[in-house]
Structure 1
Amino acid sequence: MLVADRNAFRTGATSAAMVLPSGFALPPLPYLLALLAGVAVAGAALYRTRPRVTPRVVLAFTPWMVVGASLYALFQIEAVPAAVRPLLGTPAVYLATFAVAGLVWAAASPFGADEWDLPSTPGLLLLIGTLTAGGVVGSALRIGLNRGGLLLGPPLAALVASLVVATGVWLLTVTNSEDASAASSVGWLVLLGHTLDGISTAVGSTLGFGEQTPLSRLIIELGGELVSLPFLGPAWLFVVVKVALATFLVVFVGEYAAEEPQRGYLLLGGVAAVGLGPGAHNLVLFAIA
């Protein structure tokens, strides 16, 4: 995940500091309690309804990942109301997004989980999530435009390149691995998310943005010591690591999904979110910052 100022890096002495991004902080206690209450309510609703987890359900969460990512980008450029700002930092924004999406999922759980047609669980999740994401991203673009203009070329190029690379790697992987095939379309989403995170970070490094996570920064610096490539800059090695790790996880967790589809697809969805969230955040930040 990127920041607009390279000086925002912080190198900690502990192992946690090597993993957690700069700016990672819990909100003030009243906000934290409200946030935990929201997460608890969503968790209880999901526990009570026990919704089915299918590939289409996981894919339907894609716009929700964009919602959290976009809100955090707005938080970074200080374009959110003060009253809700404590809920839009990291990790609070992702917990808040989960609370809302979880309640929508629980409400939609009585419907079928294997088709997109309305009413269905994937269809309702996708529809509400897309409308929400459209509103948040639209607001972000409007704010960016009012603050001095938009930068659309690099984020669009990063998105297109990620789609091409992820799809190519996915096709190659499923051709050679039955375990990857068991991951179904969720495996493609995992590859897309982490490829987007890698390529968008690489593009950002050529635009003057800095990586928030110290461990990722070390990989980027190592790649820069070896060679700097056009379009990817010094972060080419980070892209390779992200794509390779995502491919491994698709194969490894795909084997588990073949035996335990519910838990396997849920785990793959979490892995996809870890990549797609930061990747989408980078694209929105490029455009508006």
Structure 2
Amino acid sequence: MVLPEGFVLPPWYFLVAILVVLGGVLAMLWALEPPVTDRTVVAFVPWMMFGSALHVLHQLGAYPDSIAVLFTSPGVYLVTAIVGGLVWILGIFLEAAGLQRSIERFVGVTGTGFFVVFAMFALQLGWAAGTFEPFWPVIAVVLSGIVTALAWLALGIWFTDVAAITGMTGVVVVFGHVLDGVSTAVGYDVLGAGENVPLSQLLLEAGEALPTAEYVGGGWVFVVVKAALALAILGLFTEYVEERPGEARTILALVAAVGLGPGTHNVLLFLVA
């Protein structure tokens, strides 16, 4: 089995509509050619997290049955991309009309608002159900920040050009994947959570088979692999960022979302369930 457990495509009529709208949004962005900088990538961080909040609400049964399938994986991320893309387009027009100082500020503030509202709704459901437990999720976020700082420090010392060229985009990539790794490790070793992605499960089981598992658990192997993978990707993209920064940072933003989305999902789910 290659696909994650719980991977469910929406019915064809929903899927076709989503793909048509998403294609239109992407075509509009292609025509407008907005600049993609470090600030753009940072502005989209809350949107990467917003999709996770929507998916957690699905797992809590917050949606009517008629539309719940839109918020399964991967449909929820396509829906999030549509909403985020439309907000980006609106920000471009507002900035051109002089109604916003910058596109990035509008995108970032709007995304933060969306994420906070839906995340708070999920937390309220967890609180009402008596399943709100913040200790280990907070520990996971703090540890992720520490590991990211250490990884970035090492990158800056031994591969200074990679850190300097990739900048804040690189930090987002590393933190996103470290958060995914640490939250998965905490869930697996401490909270008894299962892992839906087959490859991730193999890495966790490999760590659990080591002699160190008795003392530090098996999840640390997954954290190391995720961090190393993120740093390696930055190294491979350094020249690309120099030559075609907009395209390269767009792809790196997608790479960051692959880590930050699941990581945020883990943290929110552990908070409320």
Please, what TM-score do these two structures have when normalized by structure 2? 0.93
Aligned partner of residue 119 in structure 1, secondary structure: coil
Once the two structures are superposed, what CA deviation does each residue of 1:67-112 show, in whole Å capped at 9, x if it has no partner? 1011112212322222321110011000100001011112212577
2:142 is equivalent to residue 160 of structure 1: yes
Q: How does 1:135-150 map to 2 (within 5 A)?
A: 135-150=117-132
Counterpart of 1:193 (choices 176, 186, 193) is: 176
Aligned to 2:151: 169
Aligned to 2:57: 74
Structure 1: stretches of 5+ with no match in the other structure: 1-11
Taking the aligned partners of 2:229 and 2:58, their CA distance within structure 1 comes to: 29
**Number of residue pairs aligned between Structure 1 and Structure 2:** 268
* Contact 1:179 1:252 (8 Å CA) reproduced: no
Aligned to 1:182: 165
Aligned partner of residue 23 in structure 2, secondary structure: helix
Taking the aligned partners of 2:136 and 2:214, their CA distance within structure 1 comes to: 15
**Per-residue deviation, 1:254:** 2.2
Aligned to 1:228: 213
**Per-residue deviation, 1:287:** 0.6
Identity of aligned residues (%): 40
**Per-residue deviation, 1:165:** 1.0
- Which moves more between the two structures, 279-288 or 144-153? 144-153
2:79 is equivalent to residue 96 of structure 1: yes
* Contact 1:199 1:239 (8 Å CA) reproduced: yes
2:243 is equivalent to residue 259 of structure 1: yes
Aligned partner of residue 182 in structure 2, secondary structure: helix
Taking the aligned partners of 1:54 and 1:161, their CA distance within structure 2 comes to: 28
* Contact 2:173 2:253 (8 Å CA) reproduced: yes
User: Which residue identity is paired with 1:130?
Assistant: T
2:259 is equivalent to residue 275 of structure 1: yes
Moved over 6 A (4+): none
Aligned to 1:5: none
- Which moves more between the two structures, 68-77 or 149-158? 68-77
* Contact 1:181 1:254 (8 Å CA) reproduced: no
Aligned to 2:45: 62
Taking the aligned partners of 2:214 and 2:103, their CA distance within structure 1 comes to: 44
Q: Which has the higher helix share?
A: 2
2:25 is equivalent to residue 33 of structure 1: no
The alpha-carbon distance between structure 1 residues 110 and 175, as it changes in their structure 2 partners (threshold 3 A), is farther
- Which moves more between the two structures, 267-276 or 177-186? 177-186
Taking the aligned partners of 1:164 and 1:255, their CA distance within structure 2 comes to: 28
The alpha-carbon distance between structure 1 residues 44 and 187, as it changes in their structure 2 partners (threshold 3 A), is same
* Contact 1:57 1:122 (8 Å CA) reproduced: yes
Aligned to 1:247: 231
Counterpart of 1:51 (choices 31, 34, 48) is: 34
The alpha-carbon distance between structure 1 residues 190 and 112, as it changes in their structure 2 partners (threshold 3 A), is farther
User: Which residue identity is paired with 1:119?
Assistant: R
* Contact 2:155 2:162 (8 Å CA) reproduced: no
* Contact 1:65 1:276 (8 Å CA) reproduced: yes
Q: How does 1:115-154 map to 2 (within 5 A)?
A: 118-154=100-136
- Which moves more between the two structures, 145-154 or 171-180? 171-180
**Per-residue deviation, 1:224:** 0.1
Aligned partner of residue 183 in structure 1, secondary structure: helix
Please, what TM-score do these two structures have when normalized by structure 1? 0.88
User: Which residue identity is paired with 1:167?
Assistant: A
Taking the aligned partners of 1:125 and 1:94, their CA distance within structure 2 comes to: 17
Taking the aligned partners of 1:245 and 1:229, their CA distance within structure 2 comes to: 26
Aligned to 1:7: none
